[in-house]
């Protein structure tokens, strides 16, 4: 299993969703919120500079990378899951460093909030990121699906019906 930025984000939000996603049980196609996020990503910054690139590193896709200024741009609808987004961007910075690109930074952009947040990867962060990768590999290799979270946290999740539809 290749650990991706999306899996890093899921790891920090819901390990059940991570396990299901990694085991090819996908529900995102049913989610209005996921669709909204994709539209925001596509249309929020139509004036994006030509120098921003989508790059693929070790199985992870970084949607907007500025190779001149070495900045990873991550667009999000809200800051509701900000710690997970910071972790995802730190993982991208880790991959860049691992592939010989030193000194990159990240910028989380919240166009609807008109806010941004800078993200860095320090020497102290590297073993933490590596720990996330190991934990995700261990979790996805498990035969056992993690338990669901409390219902109130899950209402807007694309997996809500999957997790909370009771069978007879």
Whole-prediction pTM: 0.86
In which band, very low, low, confident or very high, does the pLDDT at 31 lie, cut at 50, 70 and 90? very low
pLDDT digits (tens, 9 = 90+) for 108-142: 998 888 899 999 999 999 999 999 999 999 999 99
In which band, very low, low, confident or very high, does the pLDDT at 159 lie, cut at 50, 70 and 90? confident
Residue 39 pLDDT greater than 70, yes or no: no
Residue 85 pLDDT greater than 80, yes or no: yes
Q: Where do the structural domains in the chain lie, given as residue ranges?
A: 5-164
Q: Cα–chain-centroid distance for residue 112? A: 19
35 or 8, which is more confident? 8
SS3 call for 142? coil
DSSP 29-93: GG-HHHHHHHHHHHHS-TT--TT-EEEEETTEEEEEEETTTTEEEEE-S-STTHHHHHHHHHHHH
In this prediction, residue 16 carries a pLDDT of 92
Q: What CATH number does the domain located at 5-164 have?
A: 3.90.320.10
Average pLDDT of span 136-163:
86
């Amino acid at each position: 299993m290749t650990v991706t930025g999306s899996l890093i984000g899921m790891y920090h939000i819901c390990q059940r969703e991570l396990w299901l996603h990694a085991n090819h049980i996908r529900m995102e196609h049913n989610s209005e919120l996921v669709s909204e996020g994709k539209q925001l990503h596509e249309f929020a910054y139509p004036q994006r500079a030509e120098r921003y690139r989508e790059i693929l590193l070790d199985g992870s896709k970084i949607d907007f990378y500025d190779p001149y200024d070495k900045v990873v741009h991550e667009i999000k609808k809200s800051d509701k899951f900000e710690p997970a987004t910071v972790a995802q961007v730190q993982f991208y910075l880790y991959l860049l460093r691992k592939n010989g690109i030193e000194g990159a930074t990240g910028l989380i952009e919240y166009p609807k909030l008109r806010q941004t947040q800078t993200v860095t990867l320090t020497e102290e962060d590297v073993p933490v990121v590596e720990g996330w990768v190991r934990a995700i590999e261990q979790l996805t290799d498990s035969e056992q699906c993690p338990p669901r979270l409390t219902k109130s946290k899950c209402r807007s999740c694309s997996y809500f019906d999957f997790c909370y539809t009771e069978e007879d």
